Each structure stands twice: as structure tokens, then as C-alpha cells.
Chains A and B, each alone.
Chain A
Amino acid sequence: MSVYRGGVGQWSWLLHRVTGVGVLVFLLLHIVDTALVILGPEHYDAIIQLYRHPAFRVMEVGLFASLLFHAINGVRIILMDFWVDLMRFHRQFFYAQMAILAVLMVPVTWLMLKPVFFK
């Protein structure tokens, strides 16, 4: 397998694609699970019961992180589309956005996993 050594620009590009696909796959699944309300309480509550499993709760944190990365990185892309000079600082932007993501995910992870593991 060949590896393109594009630096952080390559990683943000790849992560944008991977997180985009991940969120889309969950969205498609989420439409189906929500649509079960049409069939009545027993069907909807059964699928929600599945989502309460700790494995799903951990994946839910991954969903939040994916969406947050995609959102922050999207803002960076839009900024650089309109102020092309900012592209000179794309490395600094990438490290800053990863720092923001990490800082935001600390309380998010705590709030999402506390009810699962620290009842």
C-alpha cells in the first residue's frame, strides 16, 4: 500500500471523509429506528432498549466526536475558502482544532458515560 505523505492537511482531509461517512451511516440507521414509532410503543421501546447497551453508549460518544470534528473542520474549510491567506497557517489551525475537540470531548464524554458506568 502506498502512503501519501501529505502531513496534517492529509489527515484532516481523511478524517473529514471518515467522520462524514460514519455520521451518514448512523443517520440512515437513526431514521429507521425512529420510524419504528409508527409501529407502536413496543417496537420503538425495543430498539431503544438496544441503544441503552454500554457498547452502544461508547459508540455514541464516538458519534458525538465524529460530528464535532466534522463541524469544526468544516468551519476551518469555509474560513480558508474565503480567506485564502489563512491557508499558510493550516498546520496551526489543525492543531488548534484538535485541541478544541479534545477539550470539548472531556465534559461530553463524562456527561454521556456517567449514567452508564457511574450510576
Chain B
Amino acid sequence: MTLSASYSRPRPTRGFEAWSWIFMRVSGLVLLFLALGHMVLMHLIHNVDEINYAFVANRYAGWLWRFYDLSLLVLALIHGINGARVLIDDYVHKPAAHRATLAALYLVSGTLLLLGAYVALFFKPVPV
């Protein structure tokens, strides 16, 4: 038994859980730049005193920030949903409750993923 296997959850080697393991690490590394970059830009350099409808309209005038936000949205949300799935697997043991919790997670987060993607791609500002 390796040190890794004796000290933590063993690394899955096959199937969905192996892909999930890789996805969490790859998306985590990308989010290190995307999510922290977003926080520094929108919470440190700018802040909620400046942000309003006109700010968003101006920011979404071109495709750069729409693409940035869409990438951040998709990666962060799938990373978060997959993390929440692991927690539900760990803590919700009754089969009916497990199914219901997972279904609620997928329904809510799936709907919000579509909503967020719609805004990033198709939001048309009205002049203010």
C-alpha cells in the first residue's frame, strides 16, 4: 500500500470517478487564475460601489469578458457541483434521501448553469 492510499481516499483508477478526479485538478488549476482573477478585478480593483447596470453593459460590449465569464461560470459550477456530489455521497446515506438530494442539486445547478450561460452569451443591454 502506498503512502497516498493509506493516508487518504485512494485515487480512483478507472471509470467516471477517475475522470472526476482528473477534472477536479485540471479545472482547479484553471480556476486558480480565472476565479482569483475575477475576484481581484471585480472585488479589489473595482468594487460593488462602481458596479451597476451601465458597468455590466459596458463590460459586455465586446466578446472578451463574455467569454471569460462563460468559461469561469462553466468550470466553477461543474467543479462545485461535482464537489457537492462527493459530499452528498459521503453524508447522505439513505437511498431515497440520496437520490432526492442529488436530483435537487442537479436540477437547481443545471437550471442556473443555463441561465448564467444565457446571460453571458445573449444579454443585450438597453441604453441607460
Question: Which residue in chain B gives the minimum CB-CB distance to A85?
Answer: B3
Contact of A87 among B7, B77, B80, B123 (CB under 8 A): B7
* A44 CB to nearest B CB, Å: 5
Q: Which single residue of chain A is at the shortest CB-CB distance from B127? A: A41
Partner of B39, one of A32, A51, A57, A64: A64
A27 within 8 A of B: yes
Bound: A28/B73 CA distance, A: 10
Determine if B97 is an interface residue (Cβ-Cβ < 8 Å).
Answer: no
Residues of chain A lying within 8 A (CB to CB) of residue B11: 81
Task: Give the chain A neighbours of B56 by CB distance below 8 A.
Answer: 34, 37, 44
Q: A44-B53, A51-B48 are in contact. Are A38 and B43 (CB under 8 A)?
A: no
Count of chain B residues with a beta carbon within 8 Å of a chain A beta carbon: 44
Grouping DSSP codes into helix (H, G, I), strand (E, B) and loop, the A interface class, with mixed when no group exceeds half, is helix
Residues of B82-128 contacting chain A, CB below 8 A = 83-84, 87, 108-109, 112-113, 115-116, 118-119, 123, 125-126, 128
**Of the candidates B32, B39, B108, B113, which one forms a contact with A75 in the assembled complex, judged by CB atoms under 8 Å apart?**
B32
> B52 near A45 (CB under 8 angstroms)?
yes
Give chain B interface residues in 23-47, CB to chain A under 8 Å.
25, 28-29, 31-32, 35-36, 39, 43-44, 47
B87:A31 contact, CB within 8 angstroms: no
CA distance A78 to B2 in the complex (A): 16
A52 surroundings in chain B (CB, below 8 A): 48-49
Pair A37/B87 contact, Cβ less than 8 Å: no
B55 smallest CB distance to A (angstroms):
9
Q: Which of B84, B118, B123 interacts with A24 by CB under 8 Å?
A: B84
Can you spell out 13 A-B residue pairs with CB atoms less than 8 angstroms apart? A23-B80, A24-B80, A31-B73, A31-B113, A35-B115, A37-B119, A40-B126, A44-B53, A48-B52, A64-B39, A67-B39, A80-B4, A87-B3
A contacts, CB < 8 Å to B:
9, 17, 20-21, 23-24, 27-28, 31-32, 34-35, 37-38, 40-41, 44-45, 48, 51-52, 56-57, 60, 63-64, 67-68, 71, 74-75, 77-78, 80-81, 84-85, 87, 108, 111-112, 115
The 7 A-B residue pairs whose C-beta atoms are closest, nearest first, are: A24-B80, A41-B53, A31-B116, A31-B112, A74-B28, A44-B53, A51-B48
